[in-house]
Structure formats: C-alpha cells, structure tokens
Amino acid sequence: MINPELIVEPRQVYGETRIYPKCDHSKGLAQLLGQTTLTVANVQNLIRLGYTVRAEYTEPMNLKGILL
C-alpha cells in the first residue's frame, strides 16, 4: 500500500522556490516526472490526487502559503 504522505523540503535558491523530495515516495514521483525537484504546480496536483504533503525545513524560512 502506498503511503499518501510525501515529505518535501522547500528551499529558496537564488530567489526561486525549489521543492526537494525527502522521502522515497516523493523522490520516486520526482523521478517519474523526470525532475530532481518538484514545482509548486507538481505539489498542488499531488494534493489534488489525494496525497498529503508535509514540508520539513532544515533552516527557518518565510514561505507563506507556498504549497497551497
């Protein structure tokens, strides 16, 4: 059974938001898309498909509403 929770890490890179997959499922989905990072649109579509996306941060960031 597939776990419907994906763990990602949003980061600001040169002023642009990059969403890095952190768990095996999110890494696999990024690989299926042919990408190393996910876009905000990718994450929004995954939420529409029933996935829960949990953002984990290694450092504090101000990303108000970026994933929704």
- Per residue in 41-59, pLDDT (tens digit) is 999 999 999 999 999 987 6
Cα–Cα distance, 55 to 35 (Å, whole number): 18
Give the whole-number percent of the chain exceeding pLDDT 70. 81
Nearest-angstrom CA–CA distance, 25 and 12: 22
* Of 1 and 21, the one with more pLDDT: 21
pTM for this predicted structure: 0.77
CA 23 from chain center: how many Å?
10
- What value does the mean pLDDT of the chain take? 85
